[in-house]
């Protein structure tokens, strides 16, 4: 298990080193959706419905099964710096989560839509948005998804999430969105 | 004063040009949606009278009004008091017209024929010399009266300046109102608009086929960028590039046999050639960078394109048959959207400097770079087919607008469309 974990982390390092200056600690990776520690001990849901249900009962969620609700908890958007398609550290948990989901359910498909802010030419921004979407797709594949489960597309600057002509708006528009297909 | 060097004036024209108007201030001629702004000291205009065409009121089109507006909008002509009843058969009272300041005169008629068409005629006179410069007659459908007026303006323009006019050409551009987009075709004056495509999704990068019969464009109607080619007359269309990822930036070869497109199907935006029906696909750039915005030279042998293989987007060129791309732009860190003049000598493009996006021209032989706009959010320059004008999109007073400019930046017009954002203009070819 440990060697697989190490090689996963090595893959993470190579993925996030694209354009990023920071290094990644080997033992840093943590599961996104915790199987929350059940203070009463691990237990599958539904048991112990006898005379009393403990107020402190927690039902374990098994993230290795398909759970559409989990995707909502992950968020759907990855953000980028100006003129950049480099994935930031903050995106890692999200990407890991989706990669895990896709790896465990090979029929599941997603589309990644890349976007830019409003500044600059339409066609160049279409290509830049495409690059952002491809960066996300490549990371998902490195982490276990199949290429055939994904399509990376771009809207360039044509579909801003936020109207506005300042950095606050621009930052919200430089993004990739992950959607189920 | 400076007349563009392309004009080769004959002796009579030189006489007009010698009567220079010292124009220190900006001269504006307001007309419907266009404002003409002529900048520069000593801009010369040829004074001309354009009389109302006999019976044009009955035709439903102000033919003389369209001719006047075209000539005035070029910035090269000044319309003098044109009142009077005359047609193409008249013997003008030259002395009277000289008193009004005219150096030339146009008059004509528009008679309805028995079959419902119109017989439109005009005559052009040199008032200074008192000479008949000839005219023409057209038999046209009512729907083509506007086009006929533009053709008359072109003929007058060419006779008096030596340059081919573009008043009877068309432009295509995209409009956006909230979430409604149209691909619109209008006369070069922005009037007579017709919609080629209606959509609730973005439309970008329209490109006229060399014969003016088709428009290629990128539509997002299926949820991603797909290239379509549409017959303008019939509306028939076909998706010609719908590969995995984004398909965009269509450009026609000058002989219409090939299209260049940008495809991301191999994982990165690269340039491919294809037949007009989408077959015979071949990749012509091989980089791990963004390569996009291809455009053919007028001789069809070279493709100019945008690449950020050097770290930021610059313009390169490569032979159509393959070879090492050669970089073309060296000023600044962001140069995109190349457009080539019909004579192949000038490239217009967009340069970003300190957050400002401006149309520039590059003399391809000598290397001189020139700024031709006074706005800072310019996009997508396109040459008129006579090579004398560039149309581009920009932003003024919070609105997207279309601008035209002469290559020296002296004469600019602005198309204002209230309530509608306009972008992505592309100038159609001659020979509609």
Banded model confidence at residue A8, pLDDT cuts 50, 70, 90? low
Listed residues B161, B187, B209: the one ending a domain? B161
**Which residue of chain A has the CA closest to B205?**
A123
- Is the predicted pLDDT of residue A17 greater than 80, yes or no? no
Residues B122 and B68 both lie in one domain:
yes
Quick one: what percent of chain A has pLDDT higher than 90? 56
* Listed residue (A170, A137, A176, A134) closest to A155, CA to CA: A176
Instruction: Answer with the residue of higher pLDDT: A47 or B117.
Output: B117
CATH number at residue B107: 3.40.50.10070
β-strand pairing of A77-79 with A175-180: antiparallel
For B129-149, how does the pLDDT look when each residue is reduced to its tens digit (9 = 90+)? 999 999 999 999 999 999 999
**Whole-number CA gyration radius for chain A:** 19
pLDDT reported for residue B41: 43
Same domain, yes or no: B331 and B256? yes
Average pLDDT value for chain A: 77
| Same domain, residue pair B344 and B198 | yes
CB contact under 8 A, B264 and A124: no
| CA angle in degrees (0–180, nearest 5) for A178-A180-A181 | 125
Domain end residue (candidates: B161, B190, B208): B161
Per-residue pLDDT at A36 exceeds 50? no
Domain A63-180 = CATH 3.30.1330.60: yes
More confident residue, B13 or B399: B399
pLDDT at A29: 46
B421 CB near a chain A CB, below 8 Å?
A: no
Give dist(CA B85, CA B69) in Å, integer: 20
> Has residue B174 been placed in a domain?
yes
Confidence check: pLDDT of B337 > 50: yes
Q: Residue A155 has which token pair?
A: 């809207």
The model's confidence at residue B63, banded by pLDDT at 50, 70 and 90, is: very high
Coil, strand or helix at B149: helix
Looking at the 3D structure of chain B, how many domains does it have?
A: 2
- Chain B residues in contact with A134 by the CB 8 A cut-off are 245, 264, 267-268
Which residue from A minimizes the CA distance to B220?
A155
Tell me the average pLDDT across B200-207: 97
| B113 and B252 both lie in a single domain | no
pLDDT value for A181 = 87
Say if B95 falls within a structural domain. yes
A38-56: average pLDDT: 49
In this predicted model, which residue has the larger pLDDT, B31 or B371? Answer: B371
Query: Which two three-digit tokens encode residue B50?
Result: 């354009």
- B378 class by beta-carbon count within 10 Å (0-12 exposed, 13-18 middle, 19+ buried): buried
Task: Assign B192 a pLDDT band (cuts: 50, 70, 90).
Answer: confident
The predicted-structure confidence for A67-98, as pLDDT tens digits, reads as follows: 555 555 668 999 999 988 999 999 999 999 99
Q: Is residue B6 part of a domain?
A: no
ipTM summary value: 0.87
**Contacts by residues B397-405 (CB-CB < 8 Å, ≥ 24 positions apart):** B400/B176, B402/B171, B402/B173, B402/B190, B403/B373, B403/B375, B403/B378, B405/B359, B405/B372, B405/B373
What is d(CA B364, CA B345) in angstroms, rounded to the nearest whole number?
Answer: 6
Show the domain range for B217.
170-427
Q: How does residue B409 score in pLDDT terms, banded at 50, 70 and 90?
A: confident
B334 domain residue, yes or no: yes
Token pair for A21? 């200056």
Chain B CB contacts of A159 below 8 Å: 202
Cβ A126–B223 below 8 Å, yes or no?
no
B405 falls within a domain: yes
B30 domain-assigned: no
The minimum CA-CA distance between A97 and chain B, rounded to whole Å, is 23
pLDDT at residue B58 greater than cutoff 80: yes
Option in A123, A131, A159 nearest B293 (CB): A123
**What DSSP assignment string belongs to B250-274?**
EEE-TTSS-EEEEE-TTSS-EEEEE
């Amino acid at each position: 298990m440990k060697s697989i974990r190490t090689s996963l982390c090595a893959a993470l390092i190579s993925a996030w080193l694209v354009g990023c200056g920071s290094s990644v600690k080997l033992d840093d990776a943590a599961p996104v959706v915790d199987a929350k520690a059940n203070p009463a001990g691990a237990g599958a849901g539904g048991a112990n419905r006898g005379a009393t249900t403990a107020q402190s009962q927690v039902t374990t969620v098994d993230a290795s099964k398909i759970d559409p609700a989990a995707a909502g908890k992950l968020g759907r958007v990855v953000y980028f710096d100006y003129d950049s398609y480099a994935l930031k550290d903050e995106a890692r948990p999200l990407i890991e989560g989706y990669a895990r989901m896709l790896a465990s359910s090979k029929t599941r498909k997603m589309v990644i839509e890349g976007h830019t802010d409003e500044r600059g030419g339409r066609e160049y921004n279409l290509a830049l948005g495409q690059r952002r979407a491809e960066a996300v797709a490549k990371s998902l594949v490195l982490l276990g998804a199949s290429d055939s489960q994904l399509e990376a597309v771009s809207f360039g600057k044509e579909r801003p999430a936020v109207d506005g002509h300042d950095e606050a708006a621009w930052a919200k528009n430089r993004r990739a969105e992950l959607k189920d297909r | 004063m400076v007349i563009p060097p392309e004009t080769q004036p004959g002796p009579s024209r030189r006489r007009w040009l010698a009567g220079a108007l010292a124009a220190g201030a900006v001269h504006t001629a307001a007309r419907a949606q266009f404002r003409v702004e002529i900048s520069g000291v000593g801009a010369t205009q040829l004074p001309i009278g354009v009389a109302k065409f006999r019976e044009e009121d009955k035709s439903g089109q102000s033919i003389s009004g369209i001719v006047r507006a075209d000539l005035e909008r070029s910035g090269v002509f000044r319309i003098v008091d044109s009142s009077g009843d005359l047609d193409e058969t008249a013997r003008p009272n030259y002395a009277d017209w000289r008193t009004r300041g005219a150096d030339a005169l146009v008059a004509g008629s528009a008679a309805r024929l028995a079959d419902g068409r119109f017989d439109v005629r005009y005559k052009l006179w040199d008032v200074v010399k008192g000479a008949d410069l000839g005219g023409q007659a057209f038999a046209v459908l009512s729907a083509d009266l506007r086009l006929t007026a533009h053709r008359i303006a072109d003929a007058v323009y060419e006779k008096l300046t030596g340059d081919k006019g573009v008043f009877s050409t068309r432009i295509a551009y995209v409009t956006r109102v909230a979430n409604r987009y149209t691909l619109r075709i209008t006369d070069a004056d922005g009037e007579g608009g017709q919609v080629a495509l209606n959509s609730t999704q973005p439309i970008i990068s329209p490109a006229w086929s060399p014969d003016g019969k088709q428009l290629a464009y990128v539509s997002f109607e299926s949820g991603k960028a797909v290239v379509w080619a549409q017959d303008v007359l019939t509306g028939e269309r076909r998706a010609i590039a719908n590969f995995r990822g984004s398909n965009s930036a269509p450009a026609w070869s000058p002989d219409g046999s090939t299209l260049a497109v940008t495809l991301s199907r191999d994982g990165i935006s690269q340039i491919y050639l294809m037949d007009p029906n989408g077959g015979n696909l071949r990749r012509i750039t091989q980089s791990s960078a963004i390569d996009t915005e291809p455009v053919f030279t007028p001789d069809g042998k070279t493709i100019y394109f945008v690449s950020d293989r050097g770290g930021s987007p610059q313009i390169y060129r490569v032979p159509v048959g393959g070879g090492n791309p050669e970089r073309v732009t060296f000023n600044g860190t962001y140069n995109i959207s190349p457009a080539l003049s019909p004579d192949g000598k000038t490239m217009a493009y967009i340069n970003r400097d300190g957050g400002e996006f401006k149309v520039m021209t590059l003399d391809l032989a000598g290397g001189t770079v020139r700024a031709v706009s006074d706005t800072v959010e310019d996009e997508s320059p396109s040459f008129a087919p006579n090579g004398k004008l560039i149309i581009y999109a920009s932003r003024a007073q919070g609105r997207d607008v279309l601008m035209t400019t002469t290559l020296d930046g002296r004469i600019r017009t602005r198309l204002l469309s209230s309530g509608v954002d306009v972008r992505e203009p592309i100038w159609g070819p001659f020979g509609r």
